[in-house]
């Protein structure tokens, strides 16, 4: 019995969470997968219920779960709140001790036309960005801001780099066995250390093809030849930039899932998009990012590869039929609930 903590969040979160859970209910019966759902408020909904975005009740439920499936948080309703919903995200990630953020991108043939890139460039893209979350410029000390001078420090330890790099090698081993490590070792001392650690760890993964790239060259290569890459691992700042660059290649944020992995072994799965409060309750939100977050959870937290594959194939078949939500086809589109029903029908 797997305990799944579902945090619907704000805006369209409850709608797309409902889609994912309806699909999970159907596919779990097919594979005799036993699970239990716990639910709790988070973000703006938690502010309304408890006066804070990350409550003690949620912390208690986290201790008893095997994985967390979460919607997006925030919205203009809480712009003037004492503590904004987004502050809950930072607190949650700190509580879980997350060290790796993972964003996959797979461009389906039926959706190539959405990409800002030419179809012949983007078609067949299937890659994953693995971003380190605990070190680098965002957490480095000392830092200061003065009237005419500012300082940020980029710091990394061998252990921080080794942890994320081993995770990336393990992930590549489960995919196409290709790993690209991104740094700026021609300039930065931390990148020189990063490259050394990658080379050290690579000795334990001789079955994985490794290449190094400078971050500026990587940014260009993702636009000119994205199909070349499988797993890309990099430090915090570079990963933040590259993962946002990758997010536009598929043409819609509504397609992008993400995961954050923690030292506590409890992983957090969520769409990469925002809470879209402007369309909340209208039954037009794209549930695919949440559905793919579900398949990531099944695959990486519960080792249910076949279940995940079945769901992903069902989504692909529905898209191939031309059945899409409004963000993908503004002229001929179906509702969130109708799209979910179509996927369930394909699951048989």
Question: What residues are labeled active site?
Answer: 138, 184, 216, 240, 244
Count CB atoms within 10 A of the CB of residue 2.
Answer: 17
The CA-to-CA distance between both ends of the chain, in Å, stands at: 23
Q: Is 166 annotated as a binding residue?
A: no
Q: Is 278 annotated as a binding residue?
A: yes
Q: What is the DSSP letter of 268?
A: E
Q: Is 282 annotated as a binding residue?
A: yes
Q: Is 204 annotated as a binding residue?
A: no
Q: Is 277 annotated as a binding residue?
A: yes
Q: Is 275 annotated as a binding residue?
A: yes
Q: Which residues pair with 181 in a beta bridge?
A: 212, 233
Q: Is 56 annotated as a binding residue?
A: no
Q: Is 216 annotated as a binding residue?
A: yes
Q: Which residue has the tokens 């099944």?
A: 298
Q: What is the CA radius of gyration of the chain?
A: 20
Q: Is 244 annotated as a binding residue?
A: yes
Q: Is 48 annotated as a binding residue?
A: no
CA dihedral 32, 38, 43, 49 (to 10 degrees): 150
Q: Is 116 annotated as a binding residue?
A: no
* Nearest in space to 330 (alpha carbons), one of 294, 279, 291: 279
Which residues, including other chains, have CB under 8 Å from residue 186's CB and lie 6 or more apart? 214
Token digits of residue 147: 């009237």
Token digits of residue 203: 């000795």
Asked whether 60 and 22 are in contact (CB, 8 A), the reply is no
Instruction: Give the residue numbers of the binding site for NAD(+).
Output: 274-286
Instruction: Give the residue numbers of the binding site.
Output: 93, 103, 131, 216, 240, 244, 274-286
Instruction: Give the residue numbers of the binding site for substrate.
Output: 93, 103, 131, 216
Instruction: Give the residue numbers of the binding site for Mg(2+).
Output: 216, 240, 244
């Amino acid at each position: 019995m797997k305990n799944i903590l579902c945090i619907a969040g704000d805006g369209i979160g409850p709608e797309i969470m409902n889609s994912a859970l309806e699909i999970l209910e159907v596919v779990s019966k097919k594979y005799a997968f036993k699970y239990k759902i716990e639910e709790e408020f988070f973000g703006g909904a938690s502010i309304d219920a408890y006066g804070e975005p990350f409550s003690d009740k949620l912390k208690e439920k986290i201790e008893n779960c095997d994985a967390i499936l979460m919607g997006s948080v925030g919205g203009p309703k809480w712009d003037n709140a004492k503590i904004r919903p987004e502050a809950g995200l930072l607190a949650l990630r700190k509580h879980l001790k997350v060290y790796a953020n993972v964003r996959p991108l797979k461009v389906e043939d039926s959706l190539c036309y959405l990409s800002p890139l030419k179809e012949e460039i983007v078609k067949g893209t299937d890659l994953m960005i693995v971003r380190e979350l605990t070190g680098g410029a965002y957490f480095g000390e000392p830092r200061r801001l003065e009237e005419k001078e500012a300082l940020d420090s980029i710091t990394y330890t061998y252990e921080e780099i080794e942890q994320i790099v081993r995770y990336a090698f393990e992930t590549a081993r489960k995919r196409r066995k290709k790993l690209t490590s991104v740094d700026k070792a021609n300039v930065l001392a931390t990148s020189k250390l990063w490259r050394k650690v990658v080379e050290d760890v690579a000795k334990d993964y001789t079955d994985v093809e490794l290449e190094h790239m400078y971050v500026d060259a990587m940014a260009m290569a993702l636009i000119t030849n994205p199909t070349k890459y499988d797993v890309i691992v990099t430090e915090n700042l570079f990963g933040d930039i590259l993962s946002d660059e990758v997010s536009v290649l598929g043409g819609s944020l509504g397609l992008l899932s993400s995961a954050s992995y923690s030292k506590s072994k409890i992983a957090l799965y969520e769409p990469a998009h925002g809470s879209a409060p402007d369309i909340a309750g209208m039954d037009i939100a794209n549930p695919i990012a949440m559905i793919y977050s579900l398949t990531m959870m099944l695959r990486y937290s519960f080792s249910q590869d076949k279940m995940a594959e079945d769901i992903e194939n069902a989504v692909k078949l529905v898209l191939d039929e031309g059945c899409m939500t409004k963000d993908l086809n503004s002229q001929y589109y179906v509702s969130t609930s109708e799209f979910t029903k179509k996927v369930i029908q394909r699951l048989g």
